[in-house]
Chains A and B, each alone.
Chain A
């Protein structure tokens, strides 16, 4: 439960309220991680928050790259840290995306908004090992053209001839000539074999719920759909109970779940 000390090496603004921090451990050590895992980051004097790792699992230091949206006191304090600032790190925690299990299958990455950050490591892995996968479809939705995360990387990936990248925005002015509509509308258009596909879904819960419905409508089974839940994680070690969802703890048994295990738990209404 004691955070280790790291320093901010680099701070990059991705969007108006979204920053990517690149850290280095003060003791020089590296943090090996699997795509899908998260670290608990401490802004000293303010608090601690779970932040998904958005780096490349294959690269040294990849486990210390985090993309943070300023939404509250802790995330705001973390996002405002400047190079050289001290930051606490606990982790990595949680389960990983099924990158290895997906070998030999088509892969659909369905994500929206900041949900692309926890999936960026997956995309790096898929592209670095392209020959091990069938068709790859990256489906991304954003609120508007100015809120497309990692836009330069998306543009680079779009230039690759052997993956399909579809991007849509919820709202746009007439100077945007791309697709306008919710990200779920991309699923029917994407080219993949539903019977031999692994789908990985991350984003706002409502988006994920409707995205899963769209995948099911196309014939993808719940056993082939994986979802990242990021609810109320506090201790990250299954102790405090804040993230408990029925019999599971999101921090320990997740955040990546297979949908056939998660769906019955999510079906229970909270109110």
Chain B
């Protein structure tokens, strides 16, 4: 567990977090790896974990008739998965490893339970998640604008 706690502590997402919170969070963590081409999760599955990528790259994808679209890629030190935060806790997209990817998987139910039990921890997690979500919302809006297209 000490090794996992060190890994959690060293991940940029948890930079500066209090030791007592890191101990709580680490009990919900485990090391995982995904081979290139392996799905991290599929659309519609229960969002029972989220992932802090330590290395590699994951594509967030959506299947359409006769094609698969990649809407975003997530890389080293970034977060994969936000649907674990809100009911009905189901993934809205597929996530597929584009290359060998190593991550810390956080058990969503475990972490939600700990945040309910300690609201200070819950607020600390929200403060860390919200900038990621806002940044992705802004980036998605820019993608929708199709700024490189020809606009008359």
**Closest A residue, CB atoms, query B67:** A173
- Chain B, interface residues (CB within 8 Å), range: 20 to 34
Q: List chain B positions with a Cβ less than 8 A from chain A.
A: 57, 59, 61, 67-73, 75, 96, 98-99, 135, 138-139, 142-143, 145-150, 152
Binds B, one of A79-87, A123-131, A179-187: A179-187
Known A147-B148, A170-B143, A182-B143; judge A210-B138 contact (CB<8 A).
yes
Known A174-B59, A181-B143, A207-B142; judge A142-B148 contact (CB<8 A).
yes
| A113 adjacent to chain B (CB < 8 Å) | yes
Q: List 24 A-B contacts (CB under 8 A).
A: A17-B150, A71-B152, A114-B148, A142-B148, A143-B148, A143-B149, A170-B143, A170-B146, A170-B147, A171-B71, A171-B143, A172-B69, A173-B67, A174-B68, A177-B59, A178-B73, A180-B70, A180-B71, A182-B139, A184-B139, A184-B142, A207-B142, A210-B138, A210-B142
Type the 1/0 row for A49-74, where 1 means its CB is closer than 8 Å to any CB of B.
Answer: 00000000000000000000101000
B147 touches A204 (CB 8 A): yes
Secondary structure class of chain B's binding surface, majority of residues: mixed
**Closest B residue, CB atoms, query A175:** B68
| A269 adjacent to chain B (CB < 8 Å) | no
Specify which of A114, A176, A182 lies most central, judged by the most chain B CB atoms within 10 Å of its CB.
A182
B61 to chain A: which residues have CB within 8 Å?
Answer: 174
A143 touches B142 (CB 8 A): no
- Rounded to whole angstroms, the CA-CA distance of A142 and B143 in the bound complex is 10
- Rounded to whole angstroms, the CA-CA distance of A197 and B146 in the bound complex is 29
- Rounded to whole angstroms, the CA-CA distance of A246 and B72 in the bound complex is 39
B139 to chain A: which residues have CB within 8 Å?
Answer: 181-182, 184-185
